[in-house]
Structure 1
């Protein structure tokens, strides 16, 4: 099994991108917000989250994870994974940096939200990008999404 934290820290050093690991309290606050806002039966403790999200928009296009930078821009973001893969949550202060870090990782299921958990984005090994909360309208109106599904 690969070590995601090592990959993230190596990538952040290589790309000169600041990455911060959230405290346990910060992590729990985000988990709880996601659970109550977006998941069926408050099932945050059960992964993959893809199976638990109440209302989402999704697209199955290779490398659609790169579109995330169009949505998050230069905002502070939180990156996290299935707990079996990586338990820590990572804060990045720029959306483009987040996409750069993800580009350095092995193909792994990941999730992105902001510190207020206004949305949840996810990408899995099946190359499916999902969006809920404020991100669902963005994805539904993304040019590539429209090209594929309209």
Structure 2
């Protein structure tokens, strides 16, 4: 099994990106708030399987697109609790993408402190958007980018 926190810390140090680790209790609270807002209050994992309103695009590179959406704001990077119990605050979408590019294939979630949006990228290479990010992701919902495996 890989150690996600070690991968994040190592990548952040080598690229000189500031990453703030959030505690396990803070992370549980974030998932609780996300479940209330996006999954009918049911805090079950993987969370992406229980989202009530979403838009999904199947593309192995779709996780790279979230940098554009996040832009210069702070994002919270979370993982299924069985993989990593802490979460991480990172400023700048390009920094989030840089950190993720140094990691092994892992499912992850990205949101902000206000929980205005939620992105999930799963092991099926599907980028899932909920909240305010749905409208933004629609521009990628084209045959060129959306390669669903049927």
TM-score calculated relative to the size of structure 1? 0.91
CA distance in 1, matches of 2:100, 2:130: 20
Corresponding residue for residue 7 of structure 1: 7
Residue of structure 1 equivalent to 2:27? 27
**Distance (Å, rounded) in 1 between the aligned partners of 2:23 and 2:4:** 18
**Mapping 1:1-80, distance limit 5 Å:** 1-24=1-24, 26-40=26-40, 42-44=41-43, 46-80=44-78
Contact 2:78 2:87 in 1 (8 A): yes
Residue 137 (structure 2) aligns with: 139
Please tell me the root mean square deviation across aligned C-alpha atoms, in Å.
Answer: 1.4
Question: Aligned with 1:129: secondary structure?
Answer: strand
Higher helix share: 1
Show structure 1 runs of 4+ deviating over 4 A. none
Q: Name the SS for the 1:90 alignment partner.
A: strand
The aligned length equals: 145
Q: 1:54 deviation in Å?
A: 0.2
Give distance in 1, aligned partners of 2:28 and 2:63: 25
Any conservation in 2 of the 1:30–1:116 contact (CA below 8 Å)? no
